[in-house]
Chain A
Amino acid sequence: NAGVTQTPKFQVLKTGQSMTLQCAQDMNHNSMYWYRQDPGMGLRLIYYSASEGTTDKGEVPNGYNVSRLNKREFSLRLESAAPSQTSVYFCASSAGSGFTDTQYFGPGTRLTVL
């Protein structure tokens, strides 16, 4: 039982390049989330998916797109990376479809945009 897995663990991009961060969970959870973590700012919600086939914007969605490919997988895409997107990205999942449930986090992806 791996929980929440994220790939890659580390990535360096040049400004303007694109990439997709992958996230998968094996807990049969309904909801999945993408956060970014920046020093002194805690975690900020980028997008979330309350159930398969639905996605909604969080606090900081600009510059990102998401896909809820199936119940297990939720990917985050940067179409044209910018230095301001340098951050640590966390994927999480929860059983229910709201923020009252415990969220389980992946180990994170450390992204640097030059």
Chain B
Amino acid sequence: AQSVTQLGSHVSVSEGALVLLRCNYSSSVPPYLFWYVQYPNQGLQLLLKYTTGATLVKGINGFEAEFKKSETSFHLTKPSAHMSDAAEYFCAVSDQNNFNKFYFGSGTKLNVKP
């Protein structure tokens, strides 16, 4: 089965600083990759996803992620953090054998300091 590792359950950055949230997956076959964001007391919403094609994917709210097959990584970045980015971020991957199973990472809570 697929596994997803998000390094760092809590990340704190200053407003205006670079945001880097890490995600690694275990698979010899590139899966489909997603980043979701969850604001307090809400459901999740999609930030961006990689299926095929260009490995640098741009999403909403200025976020982007790069699929690196050699590193089995899909790290999420944003050049300049905003207070409204404070939320929990989840990386997710589809199953390597078929795309009918879906696995979430354990999440990273982003805190943005003024």
Point out residues on A near B: beta carbons under 8 Å: 4, 33, 35, 40-45, 50, 56, 58-59, 90, 92, 98-100, 102-108
Task: Assess the B44–A100 pair: CB atoms within 8 A.
Answer: no
- Which residues of B have CB within 8 Å of A41? 106
Point out residues on B near A: beta carbons under 8 Å: 4, 9, 32, 41-46, 49, 51, 90, 94-95, 99-107
Task: Assess the B51–A100 pair: CB atoms within 8 A.
Answer: yes
Q: A40-B106, A43-B44, A43-B90 are in contact. Are A102 and B49 (CB under 8 A)?
A: yes
Task: Assess the A99–B104 pair: CB atoms within 8 A.
Answer: no
Task: Assess the A90–B44 pair: CB atoms within 8 A.
Answer: yes
Cα distance, A36 to B103, chains bound together (Å): 12
For residue A110, which residue of chain B has the nearest CB? B41
Taking A42-B106, A102-B46 as given, write out 7 further A-B residue pairs in contact, using a Cβ cutoff of 8 Å, ordered by the A residue number.
A42-B4, A56-B100, A98-B94, A99-B95, A99-B100, A100-B94, A102-B49
B83 to chain A, nearest CB (A): 23
For residue B102, which residue of chain A has the nearest CB? A99
Task: Assess the A100–B103 pair: CB atoms within 8 A.
Answer: no
Q: A90-B43, A105-B44, A105-B45 are in contact. Are A100 and B104 (CB under 8 A)?
A: no
24 residue pairs bridging A and B, Cβ less than 8 Å apart: A4-B43, A33-B102, A40-B9, A40-B106, A40-B107, A42-B104, A42-B105, A42-B106, A42-B107, A43-B44, A43-B90, A43-B104, A44-B104, A45-B101, A45-B102, A58-B101, A59-B101, A99-B95, A100-B99, A102-B49, A103-B44, A103-B46, A105-B43, A105-B45
B5 to chain A, nearest CB (A): 11
- Which residues of A have CB within 8 Å of B41? 107-108
